[in-house]
């Protein structure tokens, strides 16, 4: 089968289209014929081995997982022993986690990390949901109707989904983005939009019950100024910092952990892990019309290096998706 492989850390040029062996599902796994795969900031950080400290777990000189990509949508081709929820022909979507491998014609995935695809979404839209959708879902966990929620980085892959989910939960949403994305986030349901090139969301204004930071470029002090006295600051740990970093967003997270016991406001560090239950929640929101992924651009599989280059350098809005096979 064809796949996008990488044998050393570096720029998009280190990614190549190659013929590799088609995987065979083990016990508890399903073989999925991939129709679409979505890009995340995670993918280019792994590609470059950035932040460098992360290489301790990812691999010292090259990623341990040779095939890039974690979010996918497609159809079940075969199932391993013990699989009970899925059968060949089912349309599915999922997140491979740090195992990677979605930028390929076929992928094997544990049944626990895949769910039936939302009936009203295309393969490309469904592929855009898993990692970004779960991040948005867990970042907003506990939001109640009537609360005020601010999303910093509202036009990105997570942000566009977080705006929609926060509205579905009954919150009043303030979205922070650049000038070119104001109309986009407003169309997704944001009640208030702050153009960060013209105004500072932390400088006065009505405080928020939750600040969901998806950028990582503001100090804890500035982020806390946008909160009520008992509000919650949710740090995603993703951020949009550029390459060449030793520790990336780890320093901001570490400071958040150190400060948390000494302030009345709650400082939370978001952690996520692939789970079918979260995918099923996203599917319910999508099928109810409360959640529709926004796709900026699509690329064929062989242009995956160009897709990652665009995501990394051109401030892509929402999601960038790779089409594979029948999609």
Mean pLDDT by 10 residues, the chain (327 residues): 94 96 97 97 85 69 89 98 96 95 97 97 98 97 97 96 98 97 97 96 90 90 93 77 48 66 79 93 98 97 95 85 81
Domains and CATH numbers, the chain: 2-129+293-323 (3.90.180.10), 132-269 (3.40.50.720)
Among 111, 85, 117, CA closest to 287: 117
**175 close to 156: Cβ distance less than 8 angstroms:** no
Among 322, 326, 325, CA closest to 103: 322
Query: For residue 257, what pLDDT is reported?
Result: 67
Query: For residue 263, what pLDDT is reported?
Result: 72
Measured in whole angstroms, how far is the alpha carbon of residue 72 from the centre of its chain?
12
Distance, in Å, from the CA atom of 38 to the CA atom of 322, rounded to the nearest integer, reads 6
For 233-258, give the DSSP string. EEE-S---PPSS-SSTTHHHHHHHHH
Name the pTM for this structure.
0.91
Distance, in Å, from the CA atom of 198 to the CA atom of 15, rounded to the nearest integer, reads 38
Among 214, 216, 251, CA closest to 53: 251
Query: For residue 150, what pLDDT is reported?
Result: 98
Query: For residue 111, what pLDDT is reported?
Result: 96
Token pair 């409360």 is found at 290
Token pair 């009345």 is found at 264
CB-based contacts of 132: which residues, under 8 Å, 6+ apart?
Answer: 38, 40, 71, 157, 158, 161, 293, 319
Neighbouring C-beta atoms of residue 272, cutoff 10 Å: 18
- DSSP 8-state code for residue 118: P
Distance, in Å, from the CA atom of 132 to the CA atom of 292, rounded to the nearest integer, reads 12
Backbone φ, ψ for residue 200 (5° rounding): -110, 115
């Amino acid at each position: 089968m064809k796949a996008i492989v990488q044998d050393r850390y570096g720029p998009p040029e280190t990614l190549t289209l190659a013929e590799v062996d088609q995987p065979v599902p083990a016990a508890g796994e399903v073989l999925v014929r991939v129709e679409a795969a979505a890009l995340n900031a995670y993918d280019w950080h792994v590609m470059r081995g950035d932040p460098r400290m992360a290489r301790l777990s990812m691999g010292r000189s090259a990623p341990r997982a040779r095939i890039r990509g974690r979010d996918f949508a497609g159809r079940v081709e075969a199932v391993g022993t013990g699989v009970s929820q899925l059968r060949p022909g089912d349309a599915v979507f999922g997140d491979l986690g740090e195992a990677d491998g979605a930028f390929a014609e076929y992928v094997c995935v544990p049944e626990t990390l895949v769910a039936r695809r939302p009936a009203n979404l295309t393969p490309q839209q469904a592929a855009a949901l898993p990692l970004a959708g779960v991040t948005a879902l867990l970042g907003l966990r506990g939001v109640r109707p009537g609360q005020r929620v601010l999303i910093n980085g509202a036009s990105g892959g997570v942000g566009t989904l977080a705006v929609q989910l926060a509205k579905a939960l009954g919150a009043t949403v303030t979205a922070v983005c650049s000038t070119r994305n104001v109309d986009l986030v407003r169309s997704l349901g944001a009640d208030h939009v702050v153009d960060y090139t013209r105004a500072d969301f932390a400088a006065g204004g009505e405080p928020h019950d939750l600040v969901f930071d998806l950028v990582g470029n503001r100090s804890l002090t500035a982020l806390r100024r946008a909160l009520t006295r008992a509000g919650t600051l949710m740090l995603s740990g993703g951020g949009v910092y550029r390459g060449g970093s030793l520790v990336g967003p780890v320093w901001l997270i570490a400071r958040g952990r150190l400060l948390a016991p000494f302030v009345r406001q709650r400082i939370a560090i978001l952690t996520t892990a692939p789970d079918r239950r979260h995918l099923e929640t996203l599917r319910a929101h999508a099928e109810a019309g409360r959640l529709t992924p926004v796709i900026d651009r699509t690329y064929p599989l062989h242009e995956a290096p160009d897709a990652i280059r665009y995501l990394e350098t051109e401030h892509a809005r929402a999601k960038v998706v790779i089409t594979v096979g029948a999609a």
